[in-house]
Amino acid sequence: MAKLFLLRHLKSRWNEENRFSGWTDVPISEDGRKDAAKRAKKIFETRIDEIFTSSLFRNIDTAVRVLKVGKQKYPIFISRDGGKNQRWGDYFKGPKNYTPVYTTWRLNERHYGSLEGLNKKEMIAKYGEEKVHLWRRSYKVSPPGGGESMKTVSRRMIPFYKKYIEKDLKKGKNILIIGSHNPLRVLVKYLERISDKDIVNVEIDYGSLLEYDINKSGLPKKKFFDKI
């Protein structure tokens, strides 16, 4: 039975400043860096065969930091966005002391449209708590200015998960996904068959870790949800 770990990236500077990050690249905060050791210790109790993450720096930086602290094989970053969709192993003939880290924009955080970079508390004061909560947590409601709903994120993310990640899980590979909040909520919704209505109540804090056992048919069994 394979293991699937979901890790929300470590706290970023804009998380500390309570801003909508979306697709904006922001660095991990000092407090976030300190949490890398705790996360690595738990994750690497298990052999990790592959890591998948988004193309956003805060997710890639989290991958590097947990791998470094965990003293695992060094990461080799391979884009899964284009070309002939080859796996690194299809053509890499060098040393084997590396961990493949596959990156893709399809695992990016939702785009927050005109809210990107703005302070969440200030937007609540301007538009009201209920409306801002719907923009942030509902499944079908999109943020203003061309932002993405969770449903939109699901359309780009779940096909990628089925094509690459689920396929390898069925082969018995242990996989770590490092992502932002809403893509991970989309995946939890898919894995746990959560309704469109109930997903609004699902929260995954910075640095939180979920573990699932995945059988040969790709069906999940939730093991734990560990918060920093």
Contact, 8 vs 206, CB < 8 A? yes
Residues of the domain holding 30:
2-111+150-226
9 catalytic? Reply is: yes
Report the Cα 206 to chain-centroid distance in Å.
Answer: 11
Whether 117 maps to a domain, the answer reads no
111 catalytic? Reply is: no
**pLDDT digits 0-9 by tens, 170-224:** 999 999 999 999 999 999 999 999 999 999 999 999 999 999 999 988 889 988 7
CATH of the domain at 193: 3.40.50.1240
Catalytic residue among 50, 109, 166, 211: 109
Q: How confident is residue 71, by pLDDT bands cut at 50, 70 and 90?
A: low
pLDDT of residue 85: 47
pTM: 0.91
H helices within 92-207, ranges in order? 120-127, 129-137, 150-160, 166-170, 181-192
Q: What is the mean pLDDT of residues 24-50?
A: 89
Whether 220 maps to a domain, the answer reads yes
